[in-house]
Amino acid sequence: MATPAIAIRDVVKQYRVKHEKGRTLKELFLRHRIYQETIRALDHVDLEIPEGRTMGVIGSNGSGKSTLLKLIARTSMPTSGSVEVNGRVSALLELGAGFHPDFTGRENVYLDGAIMGLPRRVVAERFDEIVRFAEMEQFIDAPAKTYSSGMYLRLAFSVAVSIDPDIILIDEVFAVGDESFQRKCMERMDDFKREGKTIVFVSHSLDAVRSLCDEAVWLDRGKVMCTGSTTEVIDRYLDSVNEEEEKRLAREQGVFRDEGRWGSYRAEITSVSLEDGEGNPKHIFRTGDRLRARIAWKANVPVDDPVFGMAIHRGDGVLCFGTNTSGCDYKPEKLEGEGELSFELDSLALLPGSYFFSFSCHSRDDSEIYDYHDRRYPFRVVDGPRREVGLVHMEHRWRGWGPGTGKA
C-alpha cells in the first residue's frame, strides 16, 4: 500500500485563551481577575491525503481549516495525535509571513527562501524568475512596508512555488490578489497537479475549490463532517448552510417591526408565508423553483374595490419585479372580515442572491394605502441547474451551423 503524502491520525489541537474579567475600570485595578478558556480547534481529526492529490478544505470561519494547515506545515504541533508528512512542504499560510517590513523585496526573497530551507545559491539562481512571476521588477528594491497587500501576495506566492515542493499548502490568500494574478496562480496550481504534486487548498471560494480540487473535506467546529469527491462534499456543505439560513430567515420574518410598514390600516395584511410548490414553508429557493406567497388579510371596515400589490427587491435595493391585482384575473371587489390570497410563480426566474418581498393593499385609484409592508420578507435564491450570471434567468437556446455542430 502506497504511503500517503499526509496522514493525520486522531489529532486534537487545543488552545488556551486568557480573558480579563472585570466590568468597570475600578474592578480591573482593584480585582484584576484573569480566567482561561480552552478552545478545541481540531477534535479527533483523521485524514489521509494520497500523493499527487489536490484536497480542498472547506467550512465556516472558526471551523479549524487554518489550524489544520499549520499542523501540516509544522508551524504548530498537535495537542494529541500524530501528523505525518512525506515530502518537501511549501506553505503560503499568512500574507507576508517571513517578510521583514524594513527589508527590501530583494532582501525578503533571500530571507523567505532561507526560512523555507533554500541555500542562498539556489535563491540567486531562481531570483530573476521569482521577480518576473511576481511582476515586481519595478518595486523589488523598495522596502516591504511600502507594498500593498497584493504586492505582498505576489512576491510571497512566487517564492513559495519556486522551491519545487512535493506538497504545497495554500490558505485563502488569493482573495487579496487581482483577477489577473489569481488566474496566474491557478494556472501554476494546475501545473503542479500535472507534475503530480500534492496540494492542500483552503478557500471560501467554492468555485475555486470545484475547479482545482479532486477531493474535499468539510470541517465544522474542528470535526470532519465528510470527505469525498469535491462535488459531493460541497453539496453537503451547502445543504447545511442552506438549512441554517432557512432557520435564520424564518426568525427574521417572524420579527414584526413598525419600520417598513405604513398605511391607514382600514384593511391590514396580517401575515405572509413563503412556500414551495408543495405548500411547505420555505425561504431558500433555486432558480426555476415554484414559489407561492400566502397572504392573510383583515378588513377593519368594509373596503370596496381594493388592490393587492407585490414587489421583489434584491438585497442591494434593485427593484427586480413588481405587479398588482388590477391587471390580473383575480380582482377582489370588496374586503370584509378576514381572508387570504396568494401570489404564485410557476418558475422563479431570479438568479442566485438575497432578495426581499414587499406586499401592499391600497385603493384602486392609489389615493389611499391601507397597509404597505416594504421589504419585510427575506428569501434567498441559490444555484440552479445552469451556470448563469446577472439578475434573471431567460429561457433561451443555442444553435449552430457548420462542421461538428450537427447542422449542415
Expressed as residue numbers, the domain containing 176 is 6-242
Kindly state whether residues 141 and 270 are assigned to the same domain: no
State the pLDDT at residue 89. Answer: 87
Residue 119 within a domain: yes
Residue 285 within a domain: yes
Average pLDDT over residues 193-203: 90
State the pLDDT at residue 320. Answer: 93
Residue 350 within a domain: yes
Kindly state whether residues 21 and 129 are assigned to the same domain: yes
Kindly state whether residues 35 and 144 are assigned to the same domain: yes
Q: Residue 210: enclosing H or E segment and its boundaries?
A: helix 206-212
Domain final position from 242, 269, 288: 242
Kindly state whether residues 106 and 18 are assigned to the same domain: yes
State the pLDDT at residue 42. Answer: 92
State the pLDDT at residue 377. Answer: 92
State the pLDDT at residue 26. Answer: 58
**Per-residue confidence band for 91, with pLDDT thresholds at 50, 70 and 90:** confident
Residue 270 within a domain: yes
Whole-structure pTM value: 0.70
State the pLDDT at residue 176. Answer: 59
Nearest CA to 163 out of 118, 124, 120 is that of 118
Tell me the pLDDT tens digit for each residue of 335-371: 999 999 999 999 999 998 899 999 999 998 888 999 9
Tell me the pLDDT tens digit for each residue of 276-288: 989 999 999 999 8
Distance (Å, whole) CA 179 – CA 310: 39
Pairing assessment for the beta strands 215-220 and 223-229 based on DSSP bridges: antiparallel
Query: Which residues, 6 or more positions from 170, have their beta carbon under 8 angstroms from its beta carbon?
Result: 92, 189, 199, 200, 201, 202, 203
Tell me the pLDDT tens digit for each residue of 292-328: 999 999 999 999 989 999 999 998 889 999 999 987 7
The CATH number of the domain holding residue 360 is: 2.70.50.60
State the pLDDT at residue 253. Answer: 63
Average pLDDT over residues 383-391: 71
Kindly state whether residues 332 and 231 are assigned to the same domain: no
Distance (Å, whole) CA 155 – CA 137: 11
Say if residue 151's pLDDT is above 90: no
pLDDT cut 90: percent of the chain above it: 43
Residue 253 within a domain: no
Average pLDDT over residues 35-60: 89
The CATH number of the domain holding residue 130 is: 3.40.50.300
State the pLDDT at residue 156. Answer: 85
Mean pLDDT of the chain: 85
Which of the 8 DSSP states describes residue 214?
S
Kindly state whether residues 212 and 270 are assigned to the same domain: no
Distance (Å, whole) CA 165 – CA 155: 17
Say if residue 291's pLDDT is above 90: yes
Q: How many helices (H) and strands (E) does the chain have?
A: 8, 18
Nearest CA to 290 out of 279, 300, 301 is that of 279
pLDDT cut 70: percent of the chain above it: 88
Residue 215 within a domain: yes
Kindly state whether residues 230 and 356 are assigned to the same domain: no
Nearest CA to 312 out of 342, 360, 355, 372 is that of 355
Kindly state whether residues 23 and 115 are assigned to the same domain: yes
Kindly state whether residues 74 and 223 are assigned to the same domain: yes
Kindly state whether residues 216 and 90 are assigned to the same domain: yes
Kindly state whether residues 235 and 270 are assigned to the same domain: no
Sheet strand arrangement including 215-220? 89-92, 167-171, 198-202, 54-58, 215-220, 223-229
**Per-residue confidence band for 72, with pLDDT thresholds at 50, 70 and 90:** very high
Count of domains for the chain: 2
Residue 398 within a domain: no
Say if residue 28's pLDDT is above 60: no
**Per-residue confidence band for 258, with pLDDT thresholds at 50, 70 and 90:** low
Residue 402 within a domain: no
Domain final position from 191, 213, 242: 242
State the pLDDT at residue 386. Answer: 63
Report yes or no: 297 and 361 within 8 Å, Cβ to Cβ: yes
Kindly state whether residues 86 and 211 are assigned to the same domain: yes
